[in-house]
A and B are shown apart, each in its own frame.
Chain A
């Protein structure tokens, strides 16, 4: 559910760009949108055995995806979501222009090449009208099965100015995927900028909590009860304690947010799904079993590899202590239930 082809460089997007933006790449000497959230040379960003021996670019072609993931692991369906930093661009027109090109690159280079693949619509979130327009442009193609935003945006995701986006997603039966990473509008911690990349990466865990809190308390799920949210590369083990606290606080101060008419625990179980990689818990079956109990639902987890990020060595496997029934749900059933578009199966 979480495959990340890497754009080899701005030149790869040129065939899909309006001349206005295409010309600026060379005119202004633009150097590319690789983001600090995933430094290209960091071991974390690309697993060592997935870097080509000849030093060429990793994880950027359909052949690499097939050889490293689809074939060896027998994947029947996969969702590709490029993490090229179009979200970082401050010029909202330019951001929208490059985002359109990125989505068209994904369609031409991956979706058109392999029928096992579906994709995320990357959203230009700097301007809600642009985001809605991109949803309307791509939603008719059923191979786009969700829309994706970065977890650290400019303003908390649930804010009302984003509601037209949620309305468009619901209209087209598209889940909202929220992926790790920052648009670099705010420091990666509420205490300011961090010294180490490891802090940046760790900060995603806080971001997912804040983002869910925003979606819930602003009333997004009251207004759009059918909106499905999928957390990608979020980690898993933080969710129960976060919900215990938010639900407790809600009991104390719900007068402030009267539109939140159910406990946040209930809302999240119904509307939120999360990918299983990276699974942030000890490697022992007993603790995993307790965590699954805390999660309180066997319908929330979706299997993911997070290719090409280095989250595990060798072939993927589920955490210890997960039985065959839950495995079937995590690997197949939950995704089918979340992504109804995956069942449409028609290519225009």
Chain B
């Protein structure tokens, strides 16, 4: 967690011998006007008049106020005063060049229109965000890869957007937010999984978004510290749902990458499902494989946040239970909890495993 850069000197982790891939970079518009060229007149009017309508009540900002402006590092505003990660050149200077990143995956967050209450607007915005990524980022810096932003509450339109981008090597994954309006395994969303599998694109699920439902199954919490922690429980629920609904039985080639979701909880979720599957399987005969086996095969996780146990070997246990081939380095640039690659992966992790986390694993799952 760094509000400002902890070290003035540039540098790349020595252990990144299989390349340094950052699977979580958040490009941002300078202002929503940047999307204008990619929107119809009707949608431009809507964007500037009614704006984004996520499933919460505030016109500006978020219902749980972040710990920093735009949840960003204070030094990430561009020299011209632009918003964090709004300028590819400054992003390169401050992050890609500075830390020696070879490949960076773009995960645009709001104002992307994902999860908007109005589906046609969300569809139009997703298309605009994708075009904007190509024009403003991918064309400028060859190290970057785009995500197919999809209007996931309209799964048919999402599938169409995925098929439009299939085969374009500038896109490396489909991007969803973790807080969907239904548990993600719900058959409502299966057109997205079908199209992603067909296009051979992993689905990156980034923590955040607003489902419209209380952030805990016991009601709305009070604090940002709770909201942040509850990303773990929301992601647990989506994993439970995907396994129990039989998504991984139906889509055997599907790859899910959980980004900024934390990962310490994943072994326990798998164990809990394994524990109760034998006593509940009369209800779910469509589940053929043990839940832990499905999770081990289909789910990858990113670092940032890395849980911090009191003793180093406890983190090693946990990473081993998930699988050393399943963990991908993420910086979360330009956010306040940004992880410098030199410090994010503790040095007590054996070097070959660190190399896989820095690059090898991401290259395999994304095919870089």
Q: Do A and B bind each other?
A: yes
Which residues of A line the B interface, CB within 8 A? 42-44, 151-157, 159, 182, 185-199, 201-203, 205-207, 209-211, 213-214, 217-218, 235, 237-238, 240-242, 244-257, 265, 278-282, 287, 290, 293-294, 296, 310-311
Q: Which of B214, B284, B308 counts the most A-chain CB atoms under 10 A from its CB?
A: B214
Beta-carbon nearest neighbor of A287 in chain B: B321
Give 10 A-B pairs besides A156-B221, A206-B217, A217-B222 with Cβ atoms closer than 8 angstroms: A155-B219, A185-B218, A189-B240, A190-B211, A198-B283, A199-B244, A209-B233, A245-B307, A253-B225, A256-B67
Of B142-150, B273-281, B355-363, which stretch is located at the interface?
B273-281
Beta-carbon nearest neighbor of A202 in chain B: B240
Q: List 21 A-B contacts (CB under 8 A).
A: A42-B280, A44-B276, A44-B279, A154-B219, A190-B215, A191-B182, A191-B237, A192-B211, A194-B241, A195-B183, A201-B280, A210-B217, A214-B216, A217-B223, A238-B268, A242-B232, A245-B262, A252-B67, A279-B275, A281-B275, A310-B279
Of B87-95, B293-301, B309-317, which stretch is located at the interface?
B309-317
Of residues 212 through 248 on chain B, the ones whose CB sits less than 8 Å from some CB of chain A are 212-226, 228-230, 232-234, 236-238, 240-241, 244-245
* Option from B1, B222, B244, B269 in Cβ contact (under 8 Å) with A218: B222
- Given A191-B180, A194-B183, A202:B244 Cβ within 8 A: yes
B196 to chain A: closest CB distance in Å?
19
Contacts of A311 in B (CB 8 A): 279
Contact A192 B183 (CB under 8 A): yes
How many residue-residue contacts, CB under 8 A, span A and B?
A: 248
Contacts of B277 in A (CB 8 A): 198
Beta-carbon nearest neighbor of B264 in chain A: A241
Contact B215 A282 (CB under 8 A): no
Contacts of B240 in A (CB 8 A): 189, 199, 202-203
Contacts of B184 in A (CB 8 A): 191
- Given A152-B217, A182-B217, A191-B238, A245:B314 Cβ within 8 A: no
Contact A191 B211 (CB under 8 A): yes
- Given A189-B183, A248-B308, A257-B223, A205:B268 Cβ within 8 A: yes
Q: Which of B228, B233, B234 counts the most A-chain CB atoms under 10 A from its CB?
A: B233
Contact B241 A189 (CB under 8 A): yes
Q: Which of A187, A205, A242 counts the most B-chain CB atoms under 10 A from its CB?
A: A205
Beta-carbon nearest neighbor of B287 in chain A: A198
- Given A203-B237, A246-B229, A290-B317, A256:B221 Cβ within 8 A: no
> Is B186 interfacial (CB-CB < 8 Å)?
yes
Contacts of A194 in B (CB 8 A): 183, 241, 244
| Measured CA separation A197–B241 after assembly (Å) | 11
- Given A151-B218, A242-B232, A252-B1, A214:B179 Cβ within 8 A: no
Contacts of A247 in B (CB 8 A): 308
Contacts of A191 in B (CB 8 A): 179-184, 211, 213, 234, 237-238, 241
Contacts of B237 in A (CB 8 A): 189-191, 199, 203, 206
* Option from B236, B244, B284 in Cβ contact (under 8 Å) with A205: B236
* Option from B181, B185, B314 in Cβ contact (under 8 Å) with A293: B314
Contact A43 B232 (CB under 8 A): no
| Measured CA separation A131–B348 after assembly (Å) | 51
Contact A253 B276 (CB under 8 A): no
* Option from B232, B234, B284, B314 in Cβ contact (under 8 Å) with A240: B314
| Measured CA separation A295–B233 after assembly (Å) | 19
B236 to chain A: closest CB distance in Å?
5
B263 to chain A: closest CB distance in Å?
8
A179 to chain B: closest CB distance in Å?
13
B287 to chain A: closest CB distance in Å?
8
Contacts of B46 in A (CB 8 A): none
Beta-carbon nearest neighbor of A203 in chain B: B217
The 8 A CB mask of B181-201 against A (1 = contact, 0 = none) is 111111000000000000000
Contact A202 B182 (CB under 8 A): no
> Is B366 interfacial (CB-CB < 8 Å)?
no
* Option from A189, A197, A203 in Cβ contact (under 8 Å) with B283: A197
Contact A211 B241 (CB under 8 A): no
| Measured CA separation A209–B332 after assembly (Å) | 25
Of residues 6 through 60 on chain B, the ones whose CB sits less than 8 Å from some CB of chain A are none
The 8 A CB mask of B48-78 against A (1 = contact, 0 = none) is 0000000000000000000100000000000
Contact A280 B268 (CB under 8 A): yes
| Measured CA separation A27–B186 after assembly (Å) | 40
Contacts of A245 in B (CB 8 A): 229, 232, 262, 264-265, 305, 307
Q: Which of A198, A253, A282, A287 counts the most B-chain CB atoms under 10 A from its CB?
A: A198
Contact A213 B230 (CB under 8 A): yes
Contacts of B317 in A (CB 8 A): 290, 294
- Given A190-B233, A241-B307, A205:B245 Cβ within 8 A: no
Q: Which 7 A-B pairs have the closest CB atoms?
A: A241-B264, A210-B216, A189-B237, A244-B307, A206-B233, A155-B219, A237-B268
| Measured CA separation A196–B1 after assembly (Å) | 38
A224 to chain B: closest CB distance in Å?
17
> Is B272 interfacial (CB-CB < 8 Å)?
yes
> Is B340 interfacial (CB-CB < 8 Å)?
no
Contacts of A252 in B (CB 8 A): 1, 67, 336-337
- Given A192-B183, A194-B183, A241-B264, A213:B229 Cβ within 8 A: yes
| Measured CA separation A282–B292 after assembly (Å) | 10
A249 to chain B: closest CB distance in Å?
5
Contacts of B218 in A (CB 8 A): 151-157, 185-186, 207, 210-211, 214
> Is B111 interfacial (CB-CB < 8 Å)?
no
Contact A238 B310 (CB under 8 A): no
Contact B216 A244 (CB under 8 A): no
Contacts of A244 in B (CB 8 A): 264, 307-309, 314
Contacts of A203 in B (CB 8 A): 217, 237, 240
Q: Which of B184, B185, B212, B310 counts the most A-chain CB atoms under 10 A from its CB?
A: B310
Contact B307 A192 (CB under 8 A): no
Beta-carbon nearest neighbor of A236 in chain B: B268
Contact A237 B229 (CB under 8 A): no
| Measured CA separation A157–B262 after assembly (Å) | 24
Contacts of B1 in A (CB 8 A): 248, 251-252
